[in-house]
Amino acid sequence: MDLKSLWINIIEVLAKELPRPQILTWFNKTALLKNDNGTLEVGLPLPYFLNWHQTHLVKKILEAARQVDTSINKINYQVDVSLNEDHSAAIDVSKHFPSGKSRKLPKQNLTRSKEGVVSKILNPDYTLDNFITSPENRLAHAACQNVAMFPGQNYNPLFIYGGVGLGKTHLLQAAGNEAIKNNPDAFVVYTTTENFTNEVIQAMRSKNMEYIRKKYRRVDLLIIDDIQFIANKEKTEEEFFHTFNTLYEAGKQLIISSDRPPHELKLLSERLISRFESGMIIDVRMPDYETRLAILMEKCRKAQVFINQDVLEFMAFHVNHSIRALEGVLNRAIGDYHLTMTAPTVQSVAAMLRQTQKKEIKPLGIVDQAPQRKGSVSIDHLIDLVTDYFAIQRSDIVGSSRARESLIPRQMIMYLANTKLRMSLVKIGKHLGNRNHTTVMHSVSKIKEKLKTDRQLLRDLNAIQKEAGMH
């Protein structure tokens, strides 16, 4: 078996155990570089993959590999940024492991018109597949899956409630998309309560309430988002009650979302509340830290941007009230990244959070200290920053390792020490494990040369300089 097929086989085994976003995030652009008597050398496209692989994946990969080939006994890693470019050995995960589920739905399916009924378009980007589950939302996710599979049978109505930005709309739309996929003839309507209210007002104006009744009569799955807005709208509530009953009695599925449980809704009709309570009521809460981090990583992967793990961890840690807010912070960071060619840092994100959330953002580790003045940055401080940034050890830098994951960071330190700190080649060599000054000179010119074409290197260097207050 050639190396690439072997690697694909191993990832296939892993894919049975690991959630798909993990496979997408941590195996894209990876490669099997060598199989040396059972020692596999796995190529990683970016330095920050290394830390995650070593702490979370290496054991699992070894187990999976041994299922494919029992002679495999060890996994080594090699960071090779050239895997990012069209490298023939690198795996394109979404191509090799296409997901039946995340395939985009043709729009015609979503806005079919039966007897003049037009549903609000479901957003095909919201799928059950790309919703990341955690104990706080797993039940809601599973119920949506069930309802999409067996509409009108098990959980009817399905009532999902929780605070803003926690994924209710995502789940509701995903259930609609999934239902259409399971049964392309199903007539699915997603509407917001606001939209429904407007329709009622329109119908009242034109004195044609029959219109609404006709309109919704043929629906197989009615999804209505943010039902709390129906409060104090007497006529809308009445109309909704009517629609609800018609569909419910015909065995059609209803999915409803709200920011609070049914009994806290300020409805006029107790009957509607008890209708809601007769089905399945599930709350969604804010996912835990690990899930928030997984969500961020998945979004980065999708946007094809690479943000340092430290920075994502910092965001996931501090933005703990809403996924929408978390996405907002990430999007701002991505915006900055494209605009300034500078990778976001813990420091820049902390500043951003201080602006948007009035709360105190506690510094985490050295990277959030006040920027040092140019003169005060020492090479030791530089080594700390760079090893932190690439999640490697100081011994990798000052030691004799020639592994790529320490080679480039070491060269970057030499370059910065020489061009920014104005240190002599001899002195730099002394600090970095007594290296010869010609080695240092060679490294500095290597980085200079690379900077002309390697945009990732430029971003990394910019980020480190920013962190060190060297700008």
| Residues engaged in binding Mg ion (CB under 5 A) | 168-169
Q: Which residues neighbour 383 within 8 Å (Cβ) at sequence distance 6 or greater? A: 394, 397, 398, 413, 431, 432
Q: Does 47 bind ligand ADP (CB under 6 A)?
A: no
We find the least distance from the C-beta atom of residue 168 to Mg ion, in angstroms, to be 5
201 phi, psi to nearest 5 deg: -60, -45
Which is nearer to ligand ADP, 295 or 432 (by Cβ)?
A: 295
**What one-character DSSP code corresponds to residue 219?**
-
132-151 positions binding ligand ADP, by CB under 6 A:
132, 137
**Is residue 345 within 8 Å of residue 463, measured between CB atoms?**
yes
We find the least distance from the C-beta atom of residue 241 to ligand ADP, in angstroms, to be 23
We find the least distance from the C-beta atom of residue 57 to ligand ADP, in angstroms, to be 21
> Which range, of 45-53, 159-167, 343-351, 440-448, touches ligand ADP by CB under 6 A?
159-167
Q: Which does 167 bind (CB under 5 to 8 A by kind): Mg ion, ligand ADP, none?
A: ligand ADP
Rg (CA), the chain: 27
Which is nearer to ligand ADP, 42 or 230 (by Cβ)?
A: 230
**Which of 205, 276, 207, 208 lies closest to 237 in space, CA to CA?**
276
Q: Does 320 bind ligand ADP (CB under 6 A)?
A: no
Tokens of 387: 């090893």
Q: Which does 131 bind (CB under 5 to 8 A by kind): Mg ion, ligand ADP, none?
A: ligand ADP
Q: Angle at the Cα of 469 (from 465 to 470), degrees rounded to 5? A: 55
> Which range, of 30-38, 66-74, 322-330, 459-467, touches ligand ADP by CB under 6 A?
322-330
Q: Which residue is nearest to ligand ADP (CB)?
A: 167
Q: How many residues does the chain have?
A: 471
Chosen residue from 43, 45, 124, 167 binding ligand ADP by CB under 6 A? 167
We find the least distance from the C-beta atom of residue 191 to ligand ADP, in angstroms, to be 14
For residue 193, the SS3 value is helix
**In terms of C-beta distances under 8 Å and separation of at least 24 residues, what long-range contacts does 434-443 make, across chains too?**
440/414, 443/410, 443/411, 443/414, 443/415
We find the least distance from the C-beta atom of residue 285 to ligand ADP, in angstroms, to be 11
> Which range, of 72-80, 142-150, 168-176, 275-283, touches ligand ADP by CB under 6 A?
168-176
Q: Does 227 bind ligand ADP (CB under 6 A)?
A: no
Q: Which does 132 bind (CB under 5 to 8 A by kind): ligand ADP, Mg ion, none?
A: ligand ADP
Q: Which does 166 bind (CB under 5 to 8 A by kind): ligand ADP, Mg ion, none?
A: ligand ADP
Q: Does 169 bind ligand ADP (CB under 6 A)?
A: yes
Chosen residue from 323, 346, 397, 425 binding ligand ADP by CB under 6 A? 323
Please report where in the chains the tokens 């296939």 appear, as a residue: 12
Alpha helix locations (H) across 44-137?
Answer: 47-52, 58-68, 93-96
From residue 74 to residue 113, the character string flagging contacts with ligand ADP as x (rule: CB under 6 A) and all else as - is ----------------------------------------
Q: Does 131 bind ligand ADP (CB under 6 A)?
A: yes
**Is residue 190 within 8 Å of residue 172, measured between CB atoms?**
yes
Chosen residue from 324, 420, 430, 450 binding ligand ADP by CB under 6 A? 324
C-alpha 415/C-alpha 128 separation (Å) is 47
**Is residue 315 within 8 Å of residue 330, measured between CB atoms?**
yes
**Cα distances (Å, whole numbers) of residue 7 to 4, 210, 315, 418, 464:** 5, 61, 33, 41, 34
Chosen residue from 129, 199, 238, 327 binding ligand ADP by CB under 6 A? 327
**Cα distances (Å, whole numbers) of residue 155 to 142, 219, 381:** 11, 17, 59
Which is nearer to Mg ion, 127 or 169 (by Cβ)?
A: 169
Which is nearer to ligand ADP, 222 or 295 (by Cβ)?
A: 295
**Which of 116, 100, 175, 178 lies closest to 141 in space, CA to CA?**
175
**Cα distances (Å, whole numbers) of residue 373 to 377, 383, 416:** 7, 17, 15
233-292 positions binding ligand ADP, by CB under 6 A:
287
**Is residue 416 within 8 Å of residue 443, measured between CB atoms?**
no
Tokens of 16: 């049975």
We find the least distance from the C-beta atom of residue 101 to ligand ADP, in angstroms, to be 14
Q: Which residues bind ligand ADP (CB under 6 A)?
A: 131-132, 137, 164-170, 287, 295, 323-324, 327
